[in-house]
Amino acid sequence: MNRRRFVTLAASLPIPLIFGCGTDASTDTPTLASPSATLPPASAEATSTTAATSTLSRGGNAPSPTTEPAADDEQSPTPTPARTVTEHAVVAGSRPHDVAPAPGGGVWYTGQGNGTLGLLDPVTGDVEEVHLGVGSAPHWVIVGPDGHAWITDGGLNAIVRVHDATKEVSAFPLPPGRARSNLNTATFDLNGILWFTGQSGVYGRLDPRSGAMEVFDAPRGRGPYGICTTPAGDVYYASLAGSYIAQIDLASGAASPLEPPTAGQGARRVWSDSGGVIWVAEWNAGQLGRYDPATGEWREWQLPGGAPQAYAVYVDERDLVWLTDFNGNAIVLFDPSVEEFDVFPLERPNARVRQLLGRPGEVWGAESRLDALVVVRTI
């Protein structure tokens, strides 16, 4: 496999502790009908894009990508299995932005270029598209506790739900006075409330059961971007323009900023590990940040390579941290147990992977410039 390994050093800094609490919710909403269309695979033949580990699926049975055994010359508390990187083509012109593994083995993706939510079947290569409405420009997608797909749609300035089985579309517009919020990402808290961010300087919450929505002004204006929920139910967001992360008090909705050690680092996306530690993709600084709410301690690691840009961050079921290096055109793995990076260069240039999300054994991303999804599988 085309992979590079790096060992790094980190800086640490203590930061004061902040806590939050939760509220109650469930699901169901008014409906806006929208058609869905099933597209045939572009081809029944799978084309290999490298001699080693990347393949491009254009329909038919998914190819069996080549694997490489993990290096055995280093001892690690976290055994490193072999991994493969595979591409799957989606609809031309869809410009897939974000992804979410779907129930039943498929993968949802937001088609920001054509206003759709796509569903890829990785086995057959088939893609089904759901049209979200005139002017749609979807950004983020996650699967909610109801099993349906939930989307932040900057074009519609609305939160959108797509029913998993019927593909029925329900829209929840932002309140009057909140136009052009530039909706970015969303997360569910443990009570079923959906929290979302808008890069114009807002964040908010939606109760899917009642349709009630509140929108709050971010404490430092423009920038709210990534958002996540910890296993304990705490919600944190990252501010790209503000260069901070913040914990939201789930009762009042107030956000309390937390300062990473590097000034102007450009905190873009955040994710929690199984212990509630917050991992941060620092876009401007090209760093991975780690904030421990239990101690208030920060640590940061520079991504390998020249002029890295850390965009996506995701923590898998083994507490391994995955990122994308936008400038380096690579998926990057960080093992906290040994503080080492592995780099998986993408085979085609300018892939522009903006987000990662996974399920056990798989980490998925969208190659927004190439109209393709990419998956790293652990064998």
Q: What's the total number of domains in the chain?
A: 1
Q: What are residue 296's DSSP bridge partners? A: none
CA–CA dist 331, 349 (Å, integer) = 13
165 lies in which domain range? 4-38+51-65+80-378
Closest of 368, 300, 307, 302 to residue 109, by C-alpha = 368
Mean pLDDT on 202-211: 98
Indicate if the pLDDT at residue 160 is higher than 60: yes
Q: Taking a C-beta distance cutoff of 8 angstroms, is the pair 267, 245 a contact? A: yes
Residue 129: inside a domain: yes
Residue 45: inside a domain: no
Residue 273: inside a domain: yes
Residue 71: inside a domain: no
Residue 370: inside a domain: yes
Residue 44: inside a domain: no
* Portion of the chain with pLDDT greater than 70, in percent: 78
Residue 46: inside a domain: no
Mean pLDDT on 329-333: 98
pTM of the model: 0.81
Indicate if the pLDDT at residue 180 is higher than 50: yes
Report the CATH number that the domain containing residue 310 is assigned in CATH.
Answer: 2.130.10.10
CA–CA dist 223, 246 (Å, integer) = 12
pLDDT at 82: 76
Residue 70: inside a domain: no
Closest of 258, 254, 195 to residue 226, by C-alpha = 195
Indicate if the pLDDT at residue 322 is higher than 80: yes
